Amino acid sequence: MPRLLRRAAVLGATAHIASSRGQAKGAAAAQEQDATQSEAAPPAAPAPSSEDTYESLMKLKELLDAGVLTQAEFDAEKKKILGS
């Protein structure tokens, strides 16, 4: 019986050490990921107000009506303004 107890103790200790190392590697990877995400995240631009959006669309429509913009250019700029 003592041989089985020693074997169980060795296996338990080995499992504990492996678990501790895995947790340490996981924590280090999480910290590294957080650091790269905070560096890579660009500052969020403030959302334009509805009045600014409306005015921009009206100016674009005037340019389209005057023939300065094509329909494709108007649609592209409209998508940029509306953010879709």
Q: What is the DSSP letter of 6?
A: H
The two structure tokens encoding residue 13 = 């200790």
pTM: 0.42
Instruction: Give SS3 for 49.
Output: coil
In the prediction, which pLDDT does 14 show?
72
Place of tokens 């329909």: 71
Mean pLDDT of 34-47: 60
How many CB atoms are closer than 10 A to CB 43? 5
Q: Which amino acid is at 75?
A: D
pLDDT band at 40 (very low <50, low <70, confident <90, very high): low
Q: DSSP states of 16-47 as a string?
A: HHHHHHHHHHHHHHHHHHHHHHHHH-PPPPPP
